[in-house]
Structure 1
Amino acid sequence: MARVFVTGGSGFIGRALVRRLVGAGHSVGALVRSEAAAAKVSALGAEPVRGELTDPLTWQDALRGREVVFHLAAETDITADRDRHELVTVRGTRAAVDAARHAGVPRFVHCGSEAALLAGAPLVDVDETAPLRPDSPAAYSATKAAAEKIVLDADAPGFATVSIRPRFVWGPHSSLVDGLVAAAKAGRLAWIDGGRHTTDVTYVDNAVEGLVLGWQRGRPGQAYFVTDLHRVTLRAFLEAHFAIHGVDAAVPDMDAETAADQIPVPARWFLGQQCTLRTDKAVIDLGYRPVVDHATGLEAVRKAMAAARV
C-alpha cells in the first residue's frame, strides 16, 4: 500500500478522499491548521500534520517518502476578496507544488474545477482543449485557472502532475448545496430565467474516483473533467434537494437583465448559464465511470438528513 498526502483533507471532498484512501489500506497524512481539522482527519484514520499551506517549510518534511500529493486546499468562498483567493488558491498551490518537488514526491494530483474556464460565456459541451481563464472577472475563476496552470506547468520528468476537474460536487452535507438551501430558506435565492438550463454535476464519491484514477492512470501534464454522466436541469436538481431539506419557501424567478444588476459573478453564471462538459478523455485515459448513480446519491442525502434529525 502507498504512503500518500492530502491538503484540504478536512473539507467536503477531502474527507471523502481520505476515507477512500484509508479504506483501501493506504497510509494517509493530511495537512491541518487547527485542532478541529486535526480531529476530523484523525477520526477518518489519517495522520494530521500541522502546518501553514502557504509556508511549505512548516510541512514539507512530512512529504518525504510519499508516493503522491493530492492537493485539494483552496479558497471556496466565492464572496471572499481577490487577495484572499490569491493567497490561498494561488500561493497555496505554488507552495504545495514546491513542497512536493523539494521532498521528491513523484506524482501530484490537483483538484481543479470547470470554474477555471468561466469568464462570462456558458460552457456548452466543452472539453479539456477549452482555455483556462486567469483573466476572468470573477476572482474565484481567475485564481482556480492560475492555480491549475501552476500545477500543469510544473509537470516534468520525475514529477508528474495531473488536474481532475469535477463540476458542482454534491452529496451528504455538501457545503455548496447546504449554502443554496440556506439561501432559499432565507429568501436570498432566485431562479434566473426559470433556472431550467442544463448542467453537469458530480457526486462526491465520483469526484474522489476521478482523483484516485488521476493518480493511478492520469497522463502527466493533463487535465480531466469528471461528472456523474447524468445531466440535470439546475432547478429540478436543486428542488429535489430543497424537498429533502424541508425548504417550503417558494424561490422566485428573476430575468437575466435584473440578475446582472443584483447577483455578482460567478454566482450569476452558476445560476443562469448552461454548463455541460465532455468526459470522453477521462473515460478513455482513466477508465473513469461513476461509482454512485444519481438516484443512489439522492438516497444517501435523504438518509444523512434523516440521521441528522434524530
Structure 2
Amino acid sequence: MNVFLTGASGYIGRAVARRLVAAGHRVTALTRSPGAAAAAQEVGAIPFVGEMGEPVSWQAMAWSHDAAVHIAQEHSSDGPAKDALAIETFIKASMVGRSRALIYTSGVWVLGNTPDAPADERASTVGAAQVSAWRSYHETLVLRARSDQLRTVVLRPGIVYGGRGGLVDLFFETARDEGAAAFIGDGSNRWSLVHLEDLAELYVLLLEGQASGVYHAVDSAPMTVRNIATACSQAAGAHGSVRSVPLAEARSSMGAMADALVMDQAVTAPASAALGWSPSRPTFDAAGAFLQWSH
C-alpha cells in the first residue's frame, strides 16, 4: 500500500514509519527541513518537502496515495488550525484522489479524568484536558467524513514510552541527574501507558484492516504516577527515590500541560482488542524502557 505519513521524524512517527516499511508498505513522509527528511530516510520512508499548514505544497502528493496516516502535531498557537487544514485536505483526497483510508492521531487526554470507571472507546470527551480540548472537535471532523469512499479512524494513544522522546523520559532524567524521579502533585493519579512498538503495531493493524471509528492504544494495567516514577528511579539506579513537585510550581513553568499530567486516567481498549491487538508489553516495563532510553 502507498501511505502518506505526517510526523515521520517525530517520536511516534519514526516508529510507525519503520513498522510500515517493514510490513511492506511504501511510505512517503511529509517533511519540512533537511533534518526531518534525513530522519525519514533513516527509517525507510521517502521524504517529500512541504509545510503542514500550507496544503497546496503537498496535497497533490497526498491525493496520489492509497491512505494517509496523520501523526504530526505542531506545538504552537497555530497548531490546531494547521491540524484542521491537514484533516480537510486528507478528506478531500477521497473525493479527488485515490486515498481510501485516513488514520488520525489524537490521544487519551481528550477523555479527561476517569475517576469512577475505566474509559473505553465509547467514553465522552466533554471533560478533555485544556491542552487537548481542540482535538475532540477534530476527531469529530474525521469520524463524520466516513463514507463509501473513505474509511476513517481516530487512534488515541496512552502515555507512550520506549526509546527516547516520551514523557516517561522525565523520570529517568531526574532520577539520573538529581537522584530522585520527579513527578507533579502527590502521584496518586493514574496514567494509562503503551509501549512505542506496540503502538506502531496497532497503526499497521488499523491500516491493513477495514476498521473505522475510535480505537485506544493502552496496555492493560493503569499505574499511579508515583509507582511509575518509583519504578523508573529504581531502573535508573536511584534506588526508587522520588520527589513531588507542587502543581502550582509546575504550572509556572509548564502551563496547562501540568494539569494534564495530574489527570487521573484509567483507559481500556476493547475495540482494539477486538481487532486482535494485544500489547507485547501488557504492563509497564521500566527496566526495558531505561535500557532503551540509555542507549
User: Within 1, Cα distance between the matches of 2:120 and 2:293?
Assistant: 35
1:260–1:54: structure 2 CA closer, same or farther, 3 Å change rule? closer
Partner AA of 1:43 in structure 2? E
Instruction: Render the CA deviation track for 1:146-193: whole Å, top value 9, x for unaligned.
Output: 221221121111111011111101111033223455567579954423
Distance 1:93 1:12 in 2: 21
After the TM superposition, which residues 126-145 of structure 1 pair with which residues of structure 2 at under 5 Å, given as runs? 126-133=119-126, 136=128, 138=130, 140-145=131-136
Kindly provide the amino acid, as one letter, of the partner of residue 303 in structure 1.
Answer: L
- Paired with 1:303 and 1:177, the residues of 2 have a C-alpha distance of 13
Cα distance 1:218–1:276, how it changes in 2: closer, same or farther (>3 A)? Answer: farther
TM-score normalised by length of structure 1: 0.81
Q: Which residue of 2 aligns with 1:177?
A: 168
CA distance in 2, matches of 1:243, 1:91: 44
Which residue identity is paired with 2:84? V
- Bigger mean CA offset, 102-111 vs 243-252: 243-252
Query: For the Cα contact (< 8 Å) 2:55–2:85, is it kept in 1?
Result: no
Could you tell me how far apart the structure 2 residues matched to 1:94 and 1:65 are? Answer: 16
Question: Quick check: 1:60–1:100 contact (8 Å CA) kept in 2?
Answer: no
Query: Structure 2 length normalisation: TM-score?
Result: 0.85
> Residue 290 in 1 paired to residue 246 in 2?
no
Q: How much does 1:21 deviate?
A: 0.9
Map of 2:83 onto structure 1: 89
Q: What RMSD over aligned residues (CA atoms) do the two structures have, in Å?
A: 3.1
The one of 174, 196, 199 equivalent to 2:191 is 199
Say whether the 8 Å CA contact 2:217–2:269 is kept in structure 1. Answer: yes
> Size of the alignment, in residue pairs?
292
Correspondence 1:232-243 to 2 at 5 A: 232-243=223-234
Task: Note closer, same or farther for the CA distance 1:303–1:199 as it changes in structure 2 (3 Å cut).
Answer: closer
User: Equivalent residues in 2 for 1:21-32 (5 A)?
Assistant: 21-32=20-31
1:107-127 superposed Cα distances (whole Å, 9 cap, x missing partner): 111122111222x66473112
Q: 1:301 is matched by which residue type in structure 2? A: A
Distance between the aligned counterparts of 2:82 and 2:123, measured in 1? 25
Equivalent residue, structure 2, for 1:66: 65
Structure 2 unaligned segments of length 5 or more: list them: none
Q: How far apart in 1 are the matches of 2:87 and 2:283?
A: 32
Matches within 5 A, 1:162-173: 162-173=153-164
Identity %: 26
Which residue of 1 is the match for residue 38 of structure 2? Answer: 39
Helix, strand or coil at the partner of 2:266 = strand
1:252 pairs with one of 243, 248, 253: 243
Q: State the partner residue of 1:301.
A: 289
Alpha-carbon separation, structure 2, partners of 1:261 and 1:19 = 36
- 2:145 maps to 154
Corresponding residue for residue 104 of structure 1: 98
